[in-house]
Structure 1
Amino acid sequence: MGTVERGRGLVELTRPVNSIAAGVLTFIGSFVAADQGFPVGAVVAAVGATILATGAGNAINDYFDREIDRINNPERPIPRGAVSPRACLWFSIGLFLTAVVLALALLPPLAIAIAVVNLLALITYTELFKGLPGVGNALVAYLGGSTFLFGGAAVDNVEPTIVLFVLAALSTLAREIIKDVEDVEGDREEGLNTLPIAIGERRALQLAAGMVAVAAVASPVPYLTGTFGLSYLVVVLPADAVMLYAGYEGFSDPTAGQSHLKYGMFLAALAFIVGRAAALA
C-alpha cells in the first residue's frame, strides 16, 4: 500500500467533515456565550481540541468496529487495507494526546473537566456502550450536544449554551437511532444488541421521530424567553421543518432520513448564530 493511499486513509479515519463540523459547533457555543470580550486563544484551543478529539474518536471507533465494517462499510480504510489496525490505534492515541495538551494548556477548569469526560467517553464508547440498547445512542447524543457546552466553558459562560445542548442532544439521539436502523444487518451479525434490534425497527424509528418532535417544540424557547429576537425564529422554524420531515422520511429511507436530519441540525445551529449576531447589533 503506497504512502499516498495510507495518508489518505488516515485522514479518512478522522471523518474530516464531521470533525471540522464539531469544531464549528464548539465555536458557535463560544460565540453565543461570549459576553465580556472574545478570548481568541481559548476559543482556538477549544475548537482545535474538539476537532482532534472527534477525529481520534472516529479513528478508535473504526479500530474497534473493523470486523463490523467489513460488512456494513467495506470501503473504510481498515477493511480496504489502506491502514492497518495497529497504525489506526497509534494514530488515534496521538490525536487524543494532542487534544489533551491543548486543553490543559489554554482552557479554564470547567472546559478541561468537560474535555476529560468527553475523551473518556470517546475512548470507551465502542467497547463498553455501543452495543447496549439506547445507552450508546445517548452517549453519542451527549457528546454531540456537549460541543456547545465546551464552547461556552471556553469563554467561562456555559448558561447560554444549555438550550443549544438540549436541542442538539435530542436531534443527535434521533439521528443515531435512525443510523442504527440503517446498520441492523451488520450489527446483528456481530451480536450487538442495538435499540432497533432490541425493540424492533419501527418502534425505534417512532422513538426517533418523537425526539425530533420534542426538539422542534422546544426550539422557540430562546425567542419566548427574550434571549433572541425574531431573526432567530425566522431561521429556526425552517430548521424544525427539515428535521421533522427527516424523522418522517426515516421510516421509508433511514439513510436519507439521518442525512437530512444532520442538515436540519446545522440549520438550527445557524439560527443561534443569527440570533446572537442580531442581539449584538
Structure 2
Amino acid sequence: MAAVETVRGLVELTRPVNVIAASVLTFIGSFVAGGVTAYPLQTGAAVAATGLAVGAGNAINDYFDREIDRINQPERAIPRGAVSPRGALVFSVVLFAMAVGFAVTLPVVAIAIAGINLLALVAYTEYFKGLPGLGNALVAYLVGSTFLFGAAAVGEVGPAVVLAVLAAIATLTREIVKDVEDLEGDLEEGLNTLPIAVGERRALVIATGLLAVGVAASPIPYLLGYFGAAYLVVVVPADAIMLYGVARSFDDPTAGQVQLKYGMFLAALAFIIGRGALEFGGV
C-alpha cells in the first residue's frame, strides 16, 4: 500500500490536469501553425517535452513550497507524507532530463524557448514567487509560451504570437486571483505577493483590468485571418465565463479562479475550432 501511495503522490506532484492542459496548448500552437500533419514527429516531441517540463516544474514547486503547503494545501503529496522532499526533488530532475531529451530534437528556435522555460520553471518558486506581480507574470509567460513552442517546433511562430499574448493575459488574471485565495498562507510564509503589497481589492481591480484588455483583444486572431468565424462563436462565451469569474472573485476568490480556468479551457477550444473551421471548412 505504501508503494501505491507513493506512486499516487508522484503523479499528484505533476498536476496531471495542468500537464494535459499545457500539452494541449503546445499541440494547438503546432496546429495553428499548420504543422500537425506536415510535421507529426516534431509536434509529438514538443507535446512530450511540454508535459514533462510542466510536471517537473510542478514537482519542484511543491518541493520548495513544502512548508507553506502545510498551511495552504496540507493534503498535497509532500505535506501528507506520500512523497519525501528528496524524492520529489529527484523525480523533478528525472522529468526535466526527459523533457530536455525531447526538446533537443526540435528546431533551434524551439530549443531556445524550451531552454528559457526550463530555467524559468526552476527559478519561479525560489526567486520570483514572492515578488509582487513578477511571479504572476512569469507564470503567465510560461503558459503563453506553450503556443510559441508548439509553433516553433514546426517552424512557424507568427500565427501563435497573438494567441500567446491572449493566453498570458488570462493566466496573469487567474494567478492574481489565486494569490488572493492563498493570502493567509503567503502571509504566514512571509511572501510579498501582489495582494499583500497593494491590498486584496486593488489586486482584484488590476486583475479585472487585465482581463478586460484580453477580452477586448480576443477578436484579433479572427480579424487577422488566422481563424474562421466559428472562433468568435466559441470565444464569446469563453470571455463571458472569465469575466464572470473575475467579478465573482471579489466575494469568493476560490470559486472565481475555478470559473477563470473553465473560461480559459473554452478559449483554448475556440482556437482549435477557429483554425479547423478555416482550414477545413473555409468559415
TM-score (norm 2): 0.97
User: What is the DSSP-based 3-state SS (H/G/I as helix, E as strand, rest coil) of the residue aligned with 2:78?
Assistant: helix
Cα displacement (A) at 1:35? 5.7
How far apart, CA to CA, are the structure 1 residues paired with 2:136 and 2:8?
Answer: 29
**1:155-170 map, 5 Å:** 155-170=154-169
How far apart, CA to CA, are the structure 2 residues paired with 1:18 and 1:280?
Answer: 28
Instruction: Quote the residue 1:41 is aligned against.
Output: 41
How far apart, CA to CA, are the structure 2 residues paired with 1:239 and 1:266?
Answer: 8
Bigger drift between 114-123 and 250-259 goes to 250-259
Cα displacement (A) at 1:212? 1.0
| Cα-to-partner distance string for 1:73-113 (whole Å, 9 max, x where unaligned) | 00000000000000000000000000001111x21100000
How many pairs align?
280
How far apart, CA to CA, are the structure 1 residues paired with 2:110 and 2:228?
Answer: 28
Q: Alignment RMSD, CA only?
A: 1.1
What amino acid is aligned across from residue 81 of structure 2 in structure 1?
G
Instruction: Quote the residue 2:32 is aligned against.
Output: 32
**1:56-71 map, 5 Å:** 56-71=56-71
Bigger drift between 28-37 and 92-101 goes to 28-37
Cα displacement (A) at 1:37? 4.9
How far apart, CA to CA, are the structure 2 residues paired with 1:94 and 1:36?
Answer: 28
Cα displacement (A) at 1:279? 1.3
Alpha-carbon distance change, 54 to 30 in structure 1, aligned in 2, over 3 angstroms = same
What amino acid is aligned across from residue 20 of structure 2 in structure 1?
I
User: What is the DSSP-based 3-state SS (H/G/I as helix, E as strand, rest coil) of the residue aligned with 2:265?
Assistant: helix
Cα displacement (A) at 1:272? 1.3
Instruction: Quote the residue 1:239 is aligned against.
Output: 238
Alpha-carbon distance change, 244 to 36 in structure 1, aligned in 2, over 3 angstroms = closer
Alpha-carbon distance change, 151 to 35 in structure 1, aligned in 2, over 3 angstroms = closer
How far apart, CA to CA, are the structure 2 residues paired with 1:156 and 1:33?
Answer: 8
Cα displacement (A) at 1:38? 2.3
Bigger drift between 195-204 and 26-35 goes to 26-35
Instruction: Quote the residue 2:172 is aligned against.
Output: 173
Gapped regions of structure 2 (runs ≥ 5)? none
Please say if 1:87 is aligned against 2:87. Answer: yes
Alpha-carbon distance change, 7 to 161 in structure 1, aligned in 2, over 3 angstroms = same
How far apart, CA to CA, are the structure 1 residues paired with 2:198 and 2:36?
Answer: 48
What amino acid is aligned across from residue 38 of structure 2 in structure 1?
F
What amino acid is aligned across from residue 2 of structure 1 in structure 2?
A
Instruction: Quote the residue 2:269 is aligned against.
Output: 270
Please say if 1:216 is aligned against 2:215. Answer: yes
How far apart, CA to CA, are the structure 2 residues paired with 1:149 and 1:262?
Answer: 20
Instruction: Quote the residue 2:202 is aligned against.
Output: 203
What amino acid is aligned across from residue 61 of structure 1 in structure 2?
N
Bigger drift between 31-40 and 73-82 goes to 31-40
TM-score (norm 1): 0.98
Instruction: Quote the residue 1:184 is aligned against.
Output: 183
What amino acid is aligned across from residue 33 of structure 2 in structure 1?
A
Answer yes or no: is the 8 Å Cα contact 2:128–2:134 preserved in 1.
yes
Cα displacement (A) at 1:226? 2.8
How far apart, CA to CA, are the structure 2 residues paired with 1:147 and 1:259?
Answer: 21
What amino acid is aligned across from residue 31 of structure 1 in structure 2?
F
Instruction: Quote the residue 2:151 is aligned against.
Output: 152
Gapped regions of structure 1 (runs ≥ 5)? none
